[in-house]
């Protein structure tokens, strides 16, 4: 009799475990999550629109076949995978080119759902949009033609500096010049390629941009002998993916995607792919992850032990 009771108890326990497991697997079907904002939009359409830069290597640019590629796009792919897992359905990706001038407007208007570029997370921008965890740390330096004697901000007295419209560089460089009481002439271009071309054409004595983007442009254009990145950092900037503000469900999925990247150290592999290994052009940036970035990723919980 004791044996029968024991068998019955075991059978009951097994049945209960199976029932609980089934409940865990089907709970979303029985009590589906009520999505809002961006996730609701994606679930109903089966589509996510990714904004990308066309000439911001190695973060986002077009390869030889015209396909958007880069460090930021690989990170966005991880976010898309997490969104698909959350919604329980395949998601189609549509790519939308953006510029420094229109990227914030395209996010706030809903034209794009996630911006995958080289956008700096600033206090002023956070009034309009939201950001992922930091993906890169950089700062403004100067690109000059060889054999220019410009080596610092003070050497720009009476010179012309090219900046790209819609960037923090266009905002901060005049402020830095004013603080140093330097008479610098600033000219603007629509994107980084145009800024680079203006410098090459002699329409400016220096091009102010984040150092990593300057090195990326030199590598992609194979012009290391013609140009030099000079000076100390004039500012510091944290890059991040950008999406709509006041959308907690979407923000949670983005955070979760970055946490999962760290669990397999995937973020390190993605970084090495674009900053250590050859770019599609065959050129290497050879920019190991800085101690600052390594520590930042650890603090953010983006890297596994």
Q: For residue range 182-225, what is the model confidence (pLDDT) as tens digits? A: 999 999 999 999 999 999 999 999 999 999 989 988 988 888 89
CATH of domain 140-235: 3.40.190.10
Give the integer Cα–Cα distance in Å for 10 and 17. 11
| Angle at which helices 71-87 and 37-45 cross, to 10° | 80
- The secondary structure of 177-217 as a DSSP string is HHHTT---EEEEESSHHHHHHHHHTTS-SEEEEEHHHHHHH
Q: How confident is the model at residue 162 (pLDDT cuts 50, 70, 90)?
A: very high
Please tell me the pTM assigned to this model: 0.79
- Mean pLDDT of the region 114-129: 95
pLDDT surpasses 80 at 119: yes
pLDDT surpasses 50 at 24: no
Length of the chain: 305
Give the integer Cα–Cα distance in Å for 117 and 61. 9
Give the integer Cα–Cα distance in Å for 224 and 219. 7
pLDDT tens per residue, range 250-272: 999 999 998 888 767 788 899 99
- Mean pLDDT of the region 60-82: 95
Which part of the chain is CATH 3.40.190.10?
37-137+238-300, 140-235
Peptide bond preceding 138: is omega within 30 degrees of 0, i.e. cis?
A: no
pLDDT at 25: 44
Q: Which helix (H) or strand (E) holds 249?
A: helix 248-263
- The secondary structure of 19-88 as a DSSP string is HHHHHHHHHHHHS-----HHHHHHHHHTEEEEEE-SEETTTEEE-TTS-EESHHHHHHHHHHHHHHHHHT
Question: What are 72's two structure tokens?
Answer: 């930021």
Q: How confident is the model at residue 304 (pLDDT cuts 50, 70, 90)?
A: very low
pLDDT at 219: 85
CATH of domain 37-137+238-300: 3.40.190.10
Q: How confident is the model at residue 8 (pLDDT cuts 50, 70, 90)?
A: low
């Amino acid at each position: 009799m004791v044996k029968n009771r024991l068998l019955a108890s075991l059978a009951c326990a097994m049945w209960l475990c199976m029932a609980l497991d089934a409940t865990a697997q089907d709970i979303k079907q029985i009590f589906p999550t009520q999505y809002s904002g961006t996730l609701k939009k994606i679930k109903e359409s089966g589509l996510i629109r990714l904004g990308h830069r066309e000439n911001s290597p190695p973060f986002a640019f077009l390869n030889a076949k015209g396909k958007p590629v880069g460090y930021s796009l690989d990170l966005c792919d991880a976010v898309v995978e997490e969104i698909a897992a959350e919604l329980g359905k395949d998601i189609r990706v549509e790519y939308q080119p953006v510029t420094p001038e229109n990227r914030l407007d395209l996010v706030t208007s809903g034209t794009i759902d996630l911006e995958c570029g080289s956008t700096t997370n600033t206090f002023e921008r956070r009034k309009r949009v939201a950001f992922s965890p930091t993906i890169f740390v950089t700062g403004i330096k100067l690109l000059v033609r060889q054999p220019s004697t410009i080596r610092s901000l003070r050497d720009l007295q009476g010179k012309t500096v090219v900046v790209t419209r819609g960037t923090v560089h266009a905002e901060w460089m005049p402020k830095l010049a004013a603080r140093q009481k330097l008479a610098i002439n600033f000219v603007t271009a629509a994107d980084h390629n145009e800024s680079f071309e203006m410098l090459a054409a002699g329409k400016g004595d220096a091009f102010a941009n984040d150092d990593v983007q300057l090195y990326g442009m030199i590598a992609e254009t194979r012009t290391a002998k013609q140009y030099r990145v000079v000076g100390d950092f004039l500012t510091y900037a944290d890059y991040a993916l950008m999406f709509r503000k006041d959308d907690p469900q979407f923000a949670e999925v983005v955070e979760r995607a970055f946490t999962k990247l760290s669990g397999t150290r995937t973020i390190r592999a993605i970084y090495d792919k674009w900053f250590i290994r050859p770019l599609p052009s065959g050129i290497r940036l050879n920019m190991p992850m800085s101690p600052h970035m390594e520590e930042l990723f650890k603090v953010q919980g983006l890297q596994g032990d």
